Amino acid sequence: MEEFLNKLVGIGVEYGSRLLISLVVLIIGSRLIKILDRSLKKERKFSKIDKEVKEFLIGFINIALKVLLFITILSVLGIPMTSLITILGSAAVAIGLALQGGLSNLAGGLMLLIFKPFKDGDFIEAEGQSGTVDSISLFYTTIITVDNRVVHLPNGGLSNSVVVNYTANEKRMLNVDISVSYDSNIDKVKKVITDTLNSIDKVIKDEPMLIKLKTHNASSLDFVVRAWVNTVDYWDVYYEFMEKIKKNFDKNKIEIPYQQLDVHVK
C-alpha cells in the first residue's frame, strides 16, 4: 500500500510539474506572439506591401506560431509526437480536400496581389466580363461594369486566365477601320480623315497618325485609322470621331457603302 501511494505521489508530482511547465510555456509563448504581432504591424518594411498581402502574411505568421506553441505544449505534457503528427496530417489532408476551391482562390489572390497585373481603378477584361476594378481581396476580385453591375471574379480562375488591362498605360491608340465606296477618291478620303482627327482637341497631335488603305473588300475600300489619345479620353475621342467622320463624308460627298443585293428578273 505504501509503495502504491509513493508511485501515485510520484506520478502526481511528475504530471503536475509538466502541467505547470506547460502553463508557463503557454503564458510566455502567448505574450511573445502578441509582441511579435505588434512589431510586425509597425515594421517599416511591411509598409511597402499592399494592405491585403500585409494582413495575410501577419495573420499566417500568427497562426503558424500558435500551432507551433500548441505542439510544444503537447510535447511538454508527454503526448507522443508521432501520433500527434499523424492526426494533424490526416486533418490537414481532409481540410485541404474540403476547401480545395477556396485554397485555389487564396493562392490566386496572393499571385494577383504580389505580381499586380492590375490595381484598384483599372478597367480590365477577363473571364468574359469587363469593368473597373473596385477591390482585390484574397479570394475574389470585384469589378463594376459600365452599366453599374457588381461582378465578383474568383481569384483562382482570374490568376490563370488572360487579363486585358485597358488603363495600365497613360496613352492608348485609337484604332478604327473606315469603309468607303470604290468610286471614292483615295487622296480625298485620307485628307478628310486627317482633317477630322485634327479637329478633335483630345487627339495627341505630337504623336504620328496612320491613315492607310488597308483592304480592297468585296464592296468597299477599307482604310485603317490610327491616332494616339490619353487613356482617360479614349471613348470621348472615339465617339466624337465616329460622329464627325460621317458628317464630313456627307459634306464631301464620300459614300459609306452598305450591303445591297441586285436582283435581275427575266
- Over the stretch 85-96, which tens digit does the pLDDT of each residue have? 666 666 656 655
Within-domain flag for 260 = no
Do the beta carbons of residue 133 and residue 161 sit within 8 Å?
A: no
Give per-residue pLDDT as tens, 42-81.
Answer: 766 656 666 666 666 777 788 888 888 887 877 777 777 6
Do the beta carbons of residue 133 and residue 145 sit within 8 Å?
A: no
Within-domain flag for 75 = yes
Expressed as residue numbers, the domain containing 247 is 171-251
Q: How many domains does the chain have?
A: 3
- What is the SS3 assignment for 162? coil
Helices (H), the chain: 2-42, 44-47, 51-76, 81-98, 100-115, 155-158, 186-198, 234-251
Q: What is the pTM of this model?
A: 0.64
Query: What one-letter code names the amino acid at 191?
Result: K
Report residue 257 CA to chain centroid gap.
42
The predicted structure's pLDDT at residue 102: 66
CATH number (domain holding residue 84): 1.10.287.1260
